[in-house]
Amino acid sequence: MDRAVLEVDRICVSLGGREILRDVSLDVQSGEIFGIVGGSGSGKSVLLRTILGLTPRASGNIRVLGTGIDSGEEQWRHTQRRMGVLFQQGGLFSSLSVKENIQVPMRELCSLPVGLMDAMTDTKLSMVGLGASDASKAPSELSGGMVKRAALARALALDPQIVFLDEPTSGLDPIASGAFDDLILTLRNSLGFAVFMITHDVESLRTVCDRAALLAHGRVVAIDTVPALASSRVEEVQSYFHRRSKFSPATRSIH
């Protein structure tokens, strides 16, 4: 379980002449759920996009599943097939049905018999808690939570070894977001993939993540297990956890 599936080594990113990320280093171990927290504009999404190779970096190294991001297009593409990404808005192809969306990676990247592909689509849909009746729906017919589930099913289509989630519970009500957290935990426990997730939701962080890093002004302020972070004395960490957990049941019970 202690094999690093993601290694980020001192990366710096500048966009439009402004430094967004400075010397960010972190690593995610196999089977681990790693959270990135931080205020708006702290560079979380840029970090994710840089790791995915969508935003160019000024310096530093990134290795995903042992492959360096610079190790040639062919090799990186091969690694990309073992990664799953859930974008904040889902990123489902609007002109395809949910079923076709899930089958895109299966169809394009492997040669599977149609029967198995259909069975796997149903399996992936059931895994994320969607029914067979949702399979033929267009993404525009789904609710926000269902879009996230369908997009997760697509991200999991090829059994990735690491899954990147960009604010998976944003825009969901507390019940739906709790259910989504449970779903990610259950899937991780049964399928054993690693998760790199960006979140704003402290509750979700406490429930799901094994370890987390706090990002502020483009730098990693703290990186530790979630309970250790919650009791950290670093000012930024304290203010982040304190401010966000002011209304949590634990604090309320003190009164």
Partner 1 sequence: MGEIVRDDAAARPRPGNDNGAAQTVTLVASGAWTLNELPDLEMIEAQSASAPGRSIVIDAAQLTAMDTFGAQTLVSLRRRLRAAGHAADIAGLPEKHARLLTFIGAIAPVDPSEPEKAYDRGLVTRVSASVLCGRDEVLSLLNTLGRLAYALANVAVSPKSFRVTSLVHQLDRAGLQAVPIIALITLLIGSIIAQQGFFHFRKFGADEYVVDMVGILVLREIGVLIVAIMVAGRSGSAYTAELGSMKLRDEIDSLSTMGLDPLEVLALPRVLALIIALPLLTFLGSIAALSGGVLTGWLYGNMHPEVFITRLKDAISLTHFEVGMIKAPFMALVIGTVACAEGLRASGSSESVGRQTTSSVVKSIFAVIVLDGLFAVFFAAIGM
Number of neighbouring beta carbons within 10 Å of residue 138: 15
Burial group, residue 158, by CB count within 10 angstroms (0-12, 13-18, 19+): middle
Sheet holding 162-166, edge to edge: 83-86, 162-166, 194-198, 33-37, 211-216, 219-225
- DSSP letter string over 95-154? TS-HHHHHHHHHHHH----HHHHHHHHHHHHHHTT--GGGTTS-GGGS-HHHHHHHHHHH
The reply on whether position 231 binds partner 1 by CB under 8 A is no
Quick check: 66 binds partner 1 (CB under 8 A)?
no
Q: Which of 173, 126, 174, 119 is nearest to 149 (CA)?
A: 126
Q: How many CB atoms lie within 10 A of CB 233?
A: 7
Instruction: Give me the 171-210 binding string for partner 1, x by CB under 8 A, dash otherwise.
Output: -------------------xxx------------------
Q: How far is the CB of 240 from partner 1 (least distance, A)?
A: 31
Binder to partner 1 among 58, 138, 185, 234 (CB under 8 A)? 138
The pair of structure tokens assigned to 247 is 């209304």
Residue 159 interacts with partner 1 (CB under 8 A)? yes
Choose the binding region for partner 1 from 18-26, 52-60, 133-141, 245-253 (rule: CB under 8 A): 133-141
CA angle in degrees (0–180, nearest 5) for 163-204-151? 40
- Quick one: which of 158, 179, 223, 234 contacts partner 1 (CB under 8 A)? 158
Residue 230 identity (one-letter amino acid): A
Q: CB of 208: closest distance to partner 1 in angstroms?
A: 18
* x-marked contacts with partner 1 along 82-121 as a string, rule CB under 8 A: ------------xx-x------------x-x---x--xx-
Based on CB atoms, which residue is closest to partner 1, 15 or 110? 110
The least CB distance from residue 145 to partner 1, in Å, is 18
Applying CB under 8 A, what is the total number of residues that bind partner 1?
A: 24
Closer CB to partner 1, 78 or 217, in the complex: 78
Binding site for partner 1 (CB under 8 A): 94-95, 97, 110, 112, 116, 119-120, 122-124, 126-127, 132, 136, 138-141, 158-159, 190-192
